[in-house]
Amino acid sequence: MSPVGRLIVIVLFEGVDLLDVTGPPEVFSLARRETEEAAGYEVVLAAETTDPVTTSAGVRILPDLTFDDLAGRSVDTLVVPGAVETDGQGRVHPLTDPAVVRRVEQLAGRTRRVTSVCVGAHILAAAGLLDGKRATTHWSTAQRLAADHPLVEVDADPIFIREGNVWTGAGISACLDLSLALVADDLGEAVALRVARQLVMYLKRPSGQSQFSVPLEQISTTRRIEDLRHYILRNIGEPLTVADLAGHGHIGERQLTRIFKSELGTTPHAYIESVRVERARNQLESTDATLERIATTCGFGTTDTLVRAFRRRLDTTPTEYRLRFRTRPE
C-alpha cells in the first residue's frame, strides 16, 4: 500500500530526548530516497507553539507547526517521544506533562497508527491508550510504568511491541528499529532492508529480541553467583547441569536453585539456555559456522534443541536470525 499523503506527526515538548525526535524522520527520509512509493510520507514536528523547543541534549529544535494547526487533518502516524528527569540520587523519572498528554489523546482519536519511543510510553499510558494492551518502554522505567498503570501489561524485554494500531518502542536507539518496522509494515521488508543498509544497521531486530545481551547484563549479585555465571560462560559448550553447578559452588542443588531465583530471577536451566542462545546469536552474526557446529559449540547438542531455544526466546529460527543479522558480507 502506497503511503500517499501519509502525515507523520512527531510530538515536541520541552526536555524531549533528542534522538527520539530525530531518529524516525531520518528513517522515513531514507525510505523516500529508496523508493517512489514512500514519496507520500510527510513528516512534521508539532508543539504547543512554534517557539524553539530545547531537548534533553540542550539542542534546540524548531517545530513545523502547532497542535492547533493540525485541527481537521487526519494523521497517519503519531510518534510520541519521551523525556526523563533524574533526582539527586540518580533515579530516573519519566515526564508526563498533562498538557502534552491531552494533546496526544486528542490527536490519537484521528490517527491511523499511534507509536511511542522509549519513555514516551508513559505519555500514551497517561492518555489511556495502552489500557488492556501489552507495551514496552525503556528498561529503567518499566517498573514505574507498571506501577502507575496497572491496566497495562508491561514487558520490559522486547525492542518493540505492536498491539493493533498501537506500537511501543524500548530504549532510545530502538526508535530506529521501530521506524524500520513501520516502513516494513507500509512498504515491505525489501524497502526496509535498503533503508537499514543506508543506516549501516541491521534490517531490524525482531520485536521479541531482548534489549539486553545476557552475559553483559549488569545485575547486583553476590560473589558466589558471579563465580557461577563466569563458570557457565567458560564451560558453555559442555553439558552443564544443576549438579555440575552445585558441585562447582560447593552447595546443594536446592540451595543453588534458590540462589538463582533470588538473585537472577530465573532458574539455573533457564539462565544456561539464555547464555547459550546469546553465544549462538554471536556466531550466527559473525561466522559461517553450520547450525550443527553452532549447536555443538554452544552446548545445545543438536540443531533441534538449538531451533527450539531460538523459537522460545526470540520467536524466530537460527536461519531466519542469520539472514537478518549477518554482519559479514555474503
Grid cell 547441569 — which residue?
241
Q: Reading across the β-sheet that carries 160-163, which strands appear in turn?
A: 65-66, 42-47, 7-11, 75-80, 111-116, 166-169, 160-163
3-state helix, strand, coil in the chain (%, to 5): 50, 15, 35
Whether the CB-CB separation of 93 and 86 falls below 8 Å is answered with yes
For 33-49, letters b (16+ CB in 10 Å) and e give ebbebbeebebbbbbbe
Give 88's DSSP letter. Answer: T
CA dist 305 and 284 (Å) reads: 16
Burial class (CB in 10 A: 0-12, 13-18, 19+), 74: exposed
For the beta carbon of residue 139, count every other beta carbon within 10 angstroms.
15
For 114, residues 6+ apart whose C-beta sits below 8 A from its C-beta are 77, 78, 80, 108, 124, 129, 165, 166, 167
Which one from 75, 118, 130, 175 is the annotated catalytic residue? 118
Active-site residue, 175 included: no
Active-site annotation, residues: 118
